[in-house]
């Protein structure tokens, strides 16, 4: 069973992450298409400069994260695999998400692909609370052979704690 899990996207707040996402063609395309939605702000400047990103209000940052995650999801969909379930952290309370993942963890063929970047608190939930030895969670960027070359370096330099 393939589950797509959209994290809260907290790692997008990091300028290094945003700059790295600009290496992805689907991200560039999405930013170009969405530029008109951000009046008075250059999205490419927001992706590259901390001060410009910080000048975005909460709703603009949330929308930008959604644009970036949807671009990553579109890239994943090009693999031709249909997900069995799509979950977004923002759509569930912590309790509901916990209950859902407890049920999902009983499936032997569970494959959770996170669209983040980052794992959120999901990885520690599976490892510590459910005591799963297998690793059913995969970060999409690290799975993509055209993206993992830069992601592994970035991931090792950050503490993934979104």
pLDDT in tens, 88-142: 988 888 888 888 988 988 888 888 898 988 767 777 777 777 776 666 777 888 7
Q: For residue 143, is pLDDT > 60? A: yes
Rounded distance between C-alpha atoms, residue 26 and residue 72, angstroms: 7
Q: Which CATH class is domain 2-157?
A: alpha beta
What is the edge-to-edge ordering of all strands in the sheet holding 2-6?
A: 85-88, 2-6, 111-115, 137-139
Average pLDDT over residues 145-152: 73
Q: What is the pLDDT of residues 25-34, one digit of tens each?
A: 999 999 999 9
Structure pTM? 0.87
At 3, give phi and psi (nearest 5°). -115, 125
Mean pLDDT of the chain: 86
Domain-wise residue ranges, the chain: 2-157
Contacts of 94-98 with C-beta under 8 Å, sequence gap 24+, read 98/125, 98/129
Residues 6+ apart with CB under 8 A from 90: 6, 8
């Amino acid at each position: 069973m393939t589950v797509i899990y959209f994290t809260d996207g907290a790692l997008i707040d990091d300028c290094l992450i945003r700059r790295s996402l600009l290496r992805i063609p689907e991200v560039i395309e999405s930013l170009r298409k969405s530029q008109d939605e951000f009046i008075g702000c250059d999205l490419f400047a927001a992706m590259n400069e901390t001060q410009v990103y910080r000048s975005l209000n909460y709703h603009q940052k949330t929308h930008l994260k959604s644009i970036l995650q949807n671009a990553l999801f579109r890239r994943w969909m090009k693999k031709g695999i249909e997900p069995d379930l799509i979950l977004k952290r923002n759509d569930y309370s912590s309790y509901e998400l916990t209950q859902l993942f407890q049920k999902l963890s009983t499936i032997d063929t569970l494959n959770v692909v996170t669209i983040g970047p980052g794992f959120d608190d999901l990885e520690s939930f599976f490892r510590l609370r459910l005591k799963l030895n297998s690793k059913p969670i995969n970060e999409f960027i690290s799975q993509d052979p055209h993206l993992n070359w830069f992601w592994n370096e970035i991931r090792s330099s950050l503490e993934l704690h979104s």
